[in-house]
Amino acid sequence: MTEPSCWARLDRTAFLVAQAIAAAMPAPVRELGAETARAMLASTPSEVPLTPLDRVEDLAVPTRAGQLRARRYHAPAAPDGVLLYLHGGGFVLGTLDGADEACRAIAARSGWDVVSLEYRLAPEDPFPAALEDAIDTIAWLRKNGSDRIAVGGDSAGGNLAAALCLYLREHGLPLPDTQILVYPAVDDRFSTPSWTEFADAPLLTTADARWLWEQYVGGSSAAIDQYAAPMKAASLRDLPPALVLTAEIDPLRDDAEAYAGRLRTDGVPTTLIRHNGVFHGFFTEVGTFPQTGAALDDVARHLRAIDSGHSGP
């Protein structure tokens, strides 16, 4: 097999992991379909987690769609707040278990509790189902005494975190203390250079990203608004301070970095950090990439800085 040219920019560890992923996948996600891809890519937590916590609690969150599964990771000491975490997976894939190690690490390193939500997935439940789940969950957290709340997520989860902040602002509802957007999917135009430059990147290709997006929005772009594609917002003013993390070899990179630029232009304190040598999906691969540990430290530092009255690491 001849690797795509963009793979030459991966560091040694990422290159080997990319080769292993390619060897394990019999076909692209768009050809496998949702059900088969979920079965192939599902992960289960290790019996001995890399970051043990004294208390990890399974929850049932009441929402307009019924009760949804969630998992609360309790910080080792009295928590400084709670981070609502929304996992990635292109709105079609992803589970609580897939984000388990990352959520453990954030709770342990930041001093914040983490609540990871198993929101509804497309194509069975397309937009705006997942966003509604996030809206209902943050309302439930506030109702149950969480005064200090951050929102965050990776990839599709980053989209949902950004859209949640826009929704809360537009409806005059309390905003989170901060938003943490890890290579978020924020635009539906697929037009920035990274979509071409990294079209054949590991794990997430441009063709697969387009297919996943179509599952989320139901195959039509007619009604796509800022809550589906946050870059479409007329203004990003008055949103919570942001931490935006990106991967160097990632089709989503330029969109995510452009969103960080717009946040800054609109007066939102924003920290942007690019992690070089890795591809989309690295953030939740705890113990695999050194960049994952560095990114988790970025998040923990950012949350701790919120406590001390600053907006970034």
Hey, which residues are catalytic here?
155, 250, 280
C-alpha distance from residue 43 to each of 37, 64, 99, 101, 262 (Å):
12, 28, 9, 11, 35
Q: In terms of residues, how long is the chain?
A: 313
Number of alpha carbons in the 13 Å side-chain half-sphere of residue 149: 26
56: left (phi over 0), alpha (psi -120 to 50) or beta: beta
Question: What dihedral angle (degrees, nearest 10) is formed by the CA atoms of 1, 196, 161, 50?
Answer: 30
Number of alpha carbons in the 13 Å side-chain half-sphere of residue 18: 27
Give the three-state DSSP class for 86: strand
Q: Pull the structure tokens for residue 22.
A: 């390619």
35/110 Cα distance (integer angstroms) = 35
Number of alpha carbons in the 13 Å side-chain half-sphere of residue 127: 26
